Every structure is written in C-alpha cells, then in structure tokens.
Amino acid sequence: MKQQEQMGRRRSSLNLPEGFLWGVAAASYQVEGATSADGRGTSIWDTFSETPGAVIHGHTGAVSVDQYHRYPEDVRLMRDAGIGSYRFSIAWPRIQPDGSGAFNSKGFDYYKRLIDELHREGIGAAATLYHWDLPQALEDRGGWPNRDTAHRFRDYAAACFGELGDIVDMWITLNEPWCSSVLGYQVGVHAPGSTDRSAAWAAGHHLLLGHGMATEAYRATGLTAPIGITLNLEMPRPATNRSEDIAAADRAADMHTRFFIDPLLGRPYPQRHFDAYPDAVPPPVEAGDMERIAAPIDFLGLNYYFEPVVAAAPVNADNPEGYREVPSHHERTHMDWPIVPRGLYRHLKWVWAHTDGRFPLYITENGCAVRDELTEDGTRCHDPRRVDYLRQHFRAAFDAIEDGVDLRGYFVWSLIDNFEWAFGYTRRFGVVYADYINQRRVPKDSYYYLREVISGHEEV
Ligand code: IFM
C-alpha cells in the first residue's frame, strides 16, 4: 500500500508536479469598480445591472471592492499567501470605450500598473480578454449574435497583445462562452438579458470565432506566453445506470459542453441539439469558420463548481431533448449548487479523454459561496465549509493528476468577495472577506488554509 493511502489519501502539495501553478481568479466588472474612471466606456453589465429587477437589490459593479484603486493591497494579500499567478480580466470598455475605433491609453495604463505590481511581488499575470463586459456600443449594433462583434474582438485582442504582450504571462481569450451566450441571450439572466435561442446559438458561434481569430492574431505577433480559453463544461452524472438515463445525461451535455469544446478540436457542432429545436436557426457558420475556431491553443482552462444529476424524461414540446435534472443527496452551497468533489475528478478525466490529451489543463476557477460572517471583533472570518470544499476538490484534482491527467495549475475563485452577477453582493466566494461599507479586507480561514497548502505544510 502506498504511503499516502495509509494516510487516508491525505497528501502534501509538495507531491505536485514541478511548477504546478497556484492562483486566484477574479474578473474586471466583479472587482474593479471605478466604472467611469479614466475614460472607461459603458459595458452591457453597467446597463443590465441598472435595469430594475435584473440584479438582486439593484446592486451594480460601480464600486465593488474598488480594486481599480486598491490593487496594491490585493496584490500584497496574494503575495502573503504565496500565490503564483493572478487571473484577472481586462475590461474591454476601458481599453476601447466604444468597442471599435479609438483605444484608450489610460485603460492600458491601469493593467500595466497592476501587472507591474504583481511582478514586483513575484506573481504571474494571467489575463482573460473577455469576462462578459462587452462594450454597450457593440450590443447596440447587435452584440455577439452579430458576426461583426467577432471581428471587433479580434481587433481589441490584437491591441492588448501589442500593448501588454511583453508583460502578460498567460492569455485566456474568453471566460465561459456558455454563460455569455446561453445566460445572456437565451435565458436572459445575464447581460444583455435576451431570450432568444437562435441568438444564443449565433452568439456562441461568434464568441468561438472571435476566440479563433484572436488566437490567430496572437500567433502572428510571435509572442510566446501560452494562450488558451476557459470553458465551464458540464458532464451531468446519469441518475442511474439504466441506458435511458445514460443517454439522457449524454444529450444534456450537447449545448453546455459539446457546442463549445468540439469545434476547438476541429469537430462539428452537436447537430442533434439543433434538430431538437426545429424552430430555431442553427449557428450561422461560414466557410472557413470551423478551421479558425480550431486554431491551436496551448492549454485549456476549466471552471468547475459542481456536477448535476440527470434522468430521462418524456420527450415533448416543452422538453424536446428528453432529460431533466433530479435531486441528489449532496450538501449545497449558498448558490444552491451541490458539492460534488468526485465530479471534478470525473470531469478532468472526461476532458482529458475527450481531447485525446491534446492540451495541458488548468482549473481556472473553483470555489464556493458560503454565508460568511466576521467574528464579533471583526478580525477573523471562520469558513470551515469553504476549507472543507477546497480540501476535497484539491484532493480530487490531485487524484486525477496521479491517474495521468496533465493538470498544470489551479486557480481558486476568488481572492476576495465580489459582485456575483445577478446575485449582486449577496453571495461571497472570496478567501478574503470584503467589508463593502469601508472596503476593509479580512482574510478568512480558507485564505490561511490555501497559504499552507501552497507552502506544502498542509496535507490535502
Ligand atoms: O463569479 C462567477 C465567475 O464570474 C464565472 N464563473 C463562475 C463564478 C461563480 O458563479
């Protein structure tokens, strides 16, 4: 029996592959605030969060944790936890207020200041080009369902490569295009709040096309930092081993997973999904698009939060794909998401097999929302559920590495509590507590736990 099995499978992070990257992640609109500073334009999230009823309590990202001004403090918090890389996103409307035409040097300056500060403290910069804050001017011209937006994204990305290419250590083109397309254009709970399936499919295609064109533009620069994309795939677990449930779970992965991962691999979109909705218009694919989308990437980023359970359901007009989500016994987070660490192991193994081990993988987000409170004296925040959540998910990821998955790094979502989209500030994901009244940051127990895992002193 191996020693770690004798220890009940608890391991030290010192057993991780050489160079394993520990990071924390965040996104511009969720943490920056300063939405009208230094020439920033309006984004679809500014507009959406000001729409009555769109976000809980009418919260907006206008101030958030004010990282735009307070980034030195946040970088120090990362340094003191031994964080190796900060995954942040670049706000397109800071760089190009109208989404086309003139670029704003003050926008670039902010990211240069942030990256310089990170580097001064020995922390790498992992920049995401698009984490949902589309310039409103582009939405006014049709948004992602309009093919032109993919071209505009390519131009914006190329400008970022030109200005920041020598200091960014890792590029991520898009964060979770499923959310931008399906939540934004079909379900309508995210900006811009549309409810049109055809628009969502077109948006998904143009997001991927923008990714492919940006990746091609990047290669033309000769820059060598790795570039990839972050997906939030979902491989639901079949409720039982009956063949109907297994087939239902497979169908449930068509839009959430196959639509986004297969074209990156040079494979077609899942036609079966389009066939289920004959009234909707399939993605407007033009000659050469699929080749562009499959432009080689250097890694694939995965965001994992939970694994749903799916069973077969009667096929009818309301449920043409014939599946439904069913309850499970798992404890749930404040997002009402089930805690399924083993699902992360299955997820990594599935992606690794589905991609034929073609790209190294990174977990670019994982974490949980907990109803955190400060101690009475305001100096500590005990979040044992988050510590437990992280410990179990780290363990699942390390198991996958042991079983052959080339997982190169793990970014915890998030450094600090922030604007959780339609939930506003009511959901706390940080390992650092944000006091939104006075902008005080208070490290939670999970922050100290993460620090000790990274230093190799805490067993997982
Ligand atoms: O806060 C989000 C993030 O912006 C994208 N991935 C999921 C997180 C938690 O919901």
The finding on whether 133 has its CB within 6 A of some atom of ligand 1 is no
Confidence (pLDDT) at 17: 86
CA–CA separation, 372 vs 200, rounded Å? 35
pLDDT tens track for 355-384: 999 999 999 999 999 999 999 999 999 999
Confidence (pLDDT) at 81: 98
- Asked if 247 and 272 touch (Cβ cutoff 8 Å), the reply is no
23 SS3 class: strand
Cα of 420 to ligand 1 centre, how many Å?
Answer: 7
Cα of 455 to ligand 1 centre, how many Å?
Answer: 26
Cα of 296 to ligand 1 centre, how many Å?
Answer: 26
The domains of the chain, with CATH numbers, are: 2-455 (3.20.20.80)
The finding on whether 365 has its CB within 6 A of some atom of ligand 1 is yes
- Asked if 35 and 46 touch (Cβ cutoff 8 Å), the reply is yes
Residue nearest to atom 1 of ligand 1 (CA): 420
Secondary structure, 3-state, 270-286: CHHHHHCCCCCCCCCCC
Task: Dig out the tokens for 52 from the structure.
Answer: 């009555």
Confidence (pLDDT) at 5: 41
176 annotated active-site: yes
The finding on whether 176 has its CB within 6 A of some atom of ligand 1 is yes
Confidence (pLDDT) at 103: 98
Other beta carbons less than 10 A from residue 281's beta carbon: 13
Query: Which residue's structure tokens are 């670019």?
Result: 364
Task: Dig out the tokens for 403 from the structure.
Answer: 């079983």
DSSP state of 20: P
The most distant pair of C-alpha atoms in the chain lies apart, rounded to whole Å, by 63
DSSP string, 62-126: SSTT-HHHHHHHHHHHHHHHT--EEEEE--HHHHSTTSSS---HHHHHHHHHHHHHHHHTT-EEE
CA quadruple 275, 278, 283, 285: dihedral sign: positive
Confidence (pLDDT) at 13: 55
Confidence (pLDDT) at 7: 39
CA–CA separation, 169 vs 21, rounded Å? 12
pLDDT < 70: residue spans in the chain: 1-14
Instruction: Let me know the angle formed at the C-alpha of 307 by 407 and 264, rounded to the nearest 5 degrees.
Output: 50
pTM (two decimals): 0.97
Please report, as a single letter, which amino acid is at residue 248: A
- Asked if 215 and 295 touch (Cβ cutoff 8 Å), the reply is yes
CA–CA separation, 252 vs 406, rounded Å? 26
Residue nearest to atom 4 of ligand 1 (CA): 27
CA–CA separation, 429 vs 329, rounded Å? 22
Q: Which of 117, 139, 163, 176 is catalytic?
A: 176
CA–CA separation, 261 vs 39, rounded Å? 36
CA–CA separation, 16 vs 232, rounded Å? 24
365 annotated active-site: yes
